[in-house]
Every structure is written in C-alpha cells, then in structure tokens.
Amino acid sequence: MMLTESKVLSKDEIEKIHQASLEILNSAGVKIFSKRVLDFLGNFNFARIDKKSLIVKFSPDSVLDILKKAPHHFKLFSQDKATCLEIGKRNYHLINGHCAAFYYDFLQKKRRRILKKEVEEFAVLSDYLYEISIAGIEGLPADIRNEKAALTEGAGMTLCNTSKPFHYTPENIFDDNSVKELIKISTGSGELAKKPSLVCMVVNLSPLAWPEEIAEVLLANSFEGIPLAIMVSPYSGVSAPYTIAGQIALFNAEVLSGVLINQLANPGCPVIYGCSCASFDMGLSVTNIATPETALMRIALAQMAGYYGIPSMTSAPDTDSNCFDEQNGWEKIITSFTSFASGINLILNAGLFSTGTEVSYSQLLMDCEIIRYVKRMIEGIKVDSSRLAVNVIEEAGPLGNFLLSRHTLEYLRKGEYLKSWISNRHMHSQWESRGLVAVDEAANNEALRILQTHKPCIKYETIKKIKKYISNIKV
C-alpha cells in the first residue's frame, strides 16, 4: 500500500480551525484595495462592504456552499498540449524556482545577481529534469533593459527553453497581461482556459489584505477561467498570531477569502489552496521557512485543503541554510517529506536556498534527488503473490542464492528499488578512485552535462515571436 498520509490535526481540531476562520472573515473581515473588486462583491448579500475602510466581511452561512463549487482536481497541459498533469487527488508535482535575486556560481564559489544566461539555463534544466513537472522563472535577471519588465522577460526566457506547463506570480496587471500574451504565443492559441498551460499565483498582504492590482488580477483571471493558486504567507508574531493554531486559522481565512472571490466570479474555476509557511525568529529578527513548526503547518495546510476538497500547494524543498551543508539537507528533506507525505499536490522552490533568495544548478539537481527519494517512500510497498516470492524462496532453500534468479532479473527492471543518480553509493575506495567527488559537485557536473546535450523542442518561429514581443515591451 501507499504510505499513509501524515496528519497533525484531529477532525475536531480541523472543524475548530474552520469555525475560527469563518469568525475572522465575519468579524475582522478582509481589506480589499480595489474598487472594481469591491463593486463586484457588492452584488452578493453575504458580503458586507464598508467602502470607507475598504473592508469586506463575509457572513458564514454561504461560505461552504460557495467553496463546494471549486473543482477537486483539474488538468494542466504542456505548451504543445501533447501531455497533461492531473492536479489534485494523490498526485504530487514539483515546480522549480521562484524569482530569486541571486545566483551561486559553483566554480567561483560566490554569489552574485542572476543574469539572463542563467535564467535561460535553469529553464533548459527544468525542461530536461523528469522530477520538475511545471516550469517557473528561477530568478529575475539583473541584466535587462527595463527592471519593471523583469518578470515578463524572465517568463519569455523560460518559455523559449521549455514546453512544460508554466507557473508565474504577477506583481501587477502589466505582469499578468504580458505573461498571458507570451503563453498565447507559446501555445499558438488565444484560448487560455481551455486545456490550460499556465497557473497564476496571487499573493495577498498579511494579515487579511488584498493589494489593488493583485485583487484585480485575481478577479480578472477568475472570470477568464485561468487556474489560480491563492498563496498567503503570514509570519508568526509579526503578521500572524505567535501561536501555531492562531497562524493556521489566519492563513486559512486568508486563503478562503481568495477562493470565495474566485468562485463567486466563476464557479468551477480551477483553484489551488496555498500557503508558504513561515515563522519569525524574534531573537534574530529574521523570517524562517524551514523550521519544525513550519513543517507542522504544511501538514495542517494539507488537511485544511482536504477538508474543502481543493488541490493544495506550498513552498518546498526549503532551507534557511546559506550553503550546501548538512542543515541544507535535513531542512529540505523534512519540508519536502512533510509536504508530499501529508497529501499536498504542488510544491514550489526547487533550486532555491538561503531562505529562498539564492539559486544554483547544484541545488536544483540535489532537490530533484530529494524528491525522487520522497516519492519512492510515498509509493510504499506492493504486496502480492509474485512479490512475496514464496516459491522463489523455497527453490533457493537455506543458504541459497537469489542473484541469478529469474525473479530477481524480472524485478530488477520494475523499479522495486530506486536507482542511484547523483547520490554516492560507492564504497570509500571506489569513491576515492573516482576523485572524491561530493554530491554538490556531482550535481553541478551533471547540470553542465545536461546543458551541453539537451535541446528543448521549441519551434524556431515561436522563439522568434516571443523575442519580438519582449523587444517591443513598453512599461
């Protein structure tokens, strides 16, 4: 059977959090800085609007009925529509990157601002790597003509180098419209909602606020039927209560506010329940994303999303470490495992370290290796008459040998055991004879090999059109 899903909340505790979130939405409400969105919500009696304070309060009576309209799962297609992913159910997908500012140069052993060349190469790696299901913009390039168009240019560089489904996070209406135009070029279709190839992630302002342009992006894409990820990220003791339960109640209320707007605008529009779980270290005055408590929050997130029957998303593999050390390893493993083992469908941040500010080729491949381990564990153990192998054991007998058994050869090819990739499984003498290569160096070497040999299957005309669109951008 598959590994049993991890849980940290009882049914009673889930219900308490749900009721607390409804009370928050009913009493504190949500501040929405967009007149357009406020006017839209004014069409519904259960939304009470104070136009002076810009606060909307949602009566709890209709909330669950509206949330039930959100689909439990949906399909996401590659740019060429040749393949698709199932988002939801017990399906687990990894997204690379997320708009980092810095790149770690493995050969120079130092970090610097990420450049166009690296953004393009991360896209090539993501296109090649089987573990990456959805491609995102790994970093925002510093060497561009117009800094205000960084996200659009990063999207163009990515789409020129991968045909995988695309994920993006607009900061304003210009970003959103520009990326959607690029997707139309990439797919060769003006229809974005039919067989969608993109996921738009909208990020609120905690606690309990939606900035003007983000709220309008949320509403516009809901009307269009574009898959949306509602992502919130309150920090304990700063933009959320210091208690874990209080933080969960708050982020649940924030996500629900986004899903409500989404489903009121377009019932049945694909939507994802998301939270980038974070805590705040009062002693160091820093935000952390890979503590034991944020791992627990990921499990709770999965349970709350499951309660509403909505696909889920979080950030992982995450680490607060600033280098490739043991801390990096254990934090990325625990954040990845708790995410997928609890049933979260999408995780975002492959390739990032240093609290999500820095990226490297080595880290991207090491993260994929971690995900290979985690997915294999989730697959669990299959038990049937063939695998129990009683006849094979009887045939071998006491002190027998299974090395030349047909049964061994058969299952050698069936993925019973995860094959080694960049992890070292050599004995010390073999490892020494191969040059004492540590895993971060092995990962970097493999990344360079991929970059030299892999050629993404993107039509020349498509690349030409994307580059022309980018060159004509005016902000």
Q: Letter for the amino acid at 387?
A: R
Residue 405 lies in a domain: no
Tell me the backbone φ, ψ of residue 415, rounded to 5 degrees.
75, 25
**112 plus 40 within the same structural domain:** no
* Burial of residue 369 (number of CB atoms within 10 Å: 0-12, 13-18, 19+): buried
**42 plus 168 within the same structural domain:** no
Q: What is the full per-residue pLDDT of the chain (475 aa) written as tens digits?
A: 999 999 999 999 999 999 999 999 999 999 999 999 999 999 999 999 999 999 999 999 999 999 999 999 999 999 999 999 999 999 999 999 899 999 999 999 999 999 999 999 999 999 999 999 999 999 999 999 888 999 999 999 999 999 999 999 999 999 999 999 999 999 999 999 999 999 999 999 999 999 999 999 999 999 999 999 999 999 999 999 999 999 999 999 999 999 999 999 999 999 999 999 999 999 999 999 999 999 999 999 999 999 999 999 999 999 999 999 999 999 999 999 999 999 999 999 999 999 999 999 999 999 999 999 999 999 999 999 999 999 999 999 999 999 999 999 999 989 899 998 999 999 999 999 999 999 999 999 999 999 999 999 999 999 999 999 999 988 7
Residue 94 lies in a domain: yes
Range of the domain at 23: 11-63
Residue 190 lies in a domain: yes
User: Residue 145's pLDDT is what?
Assistant: 83
User: Residue 474's pLDDT is what?
Assistant: 80
**49 plus 89 within the same structural domain:** no
Total number of domains in the chain: 2
Residue 150 lies in a domain: yes
**24 plus 103 within the same structural domain:** no
**327 plus 312 within the same structural domain:** yes
**15 plus 97 within the same structural domain:** no
**55 plus 190 within the same structural domain:** no
**59 plus 179 within the same structural domain:** no
**51 plus 71 within the same structural domain:** no
Residue 426 lies in a domain: no
Where residue 265 sits, what CATH number does that domain have? 3.20.20.480
Spatial distance between the Cα atoms of 201 and 105, rounded to a whole number of angstroms: 29
Residue 365 lies in a domain: yes
Instruction: Catalogue the long-range contacts made by 210-214 (C-beta closer than 8 Å, 24 or more residues apart).
Output: 210/30, 210/31, 210/32, 210/33, 210/34, 210/37, 210/257, 210/258, 211/33, 212/33, 212/34, 213/34, 213/171, 213/172, 213/173, 214/170, 214/171, 214/172
Write down which residue in 27, 44, 63 finishes a domain.
63
* Burial of residue 329 (number of CB atoms within 10 Å: 0-12, 13-18, 19+): middle
User: Residue 181's pLDDT is what?
Assistant: 98
User: Residue 473's pLDDT is what?
Assistant: 87
Spatial distance between the Cα atoms of 142 and 101, rounded to a whole number of angstroms: 8
Beta-sheet pairing, 312-315 with 271-275: parallel
Write down which residue in 335, 355, 379 finishes a domain.
379
User: Residue 420's pLDDT is what?
Assistant: 86
Distances from the Cα of 197 to the Cαs of 124, 168, 342, 386, in angstroms?
A: 18, 11, 26, 41
Contacts for 154 with CB less than 8 Å, ≥ 6 apart:
99, 119, 137, 139, 140, 141
**147 plus 31 within the same structural domain:** no
User: Residue 97's pLDDT is what?
Assistant: 85
Residue 442 lies in a domain: no
Residue 434 lies in a domain: no
**54 plus 80 within the same structural domain:** no
Confirm if 353 and 319 have CB atoms less than 8 A apart: yes
**308 plus 159 within the same structural domain:** yes
Write down which residue in 48, 63, 78 finishes a domain.
63
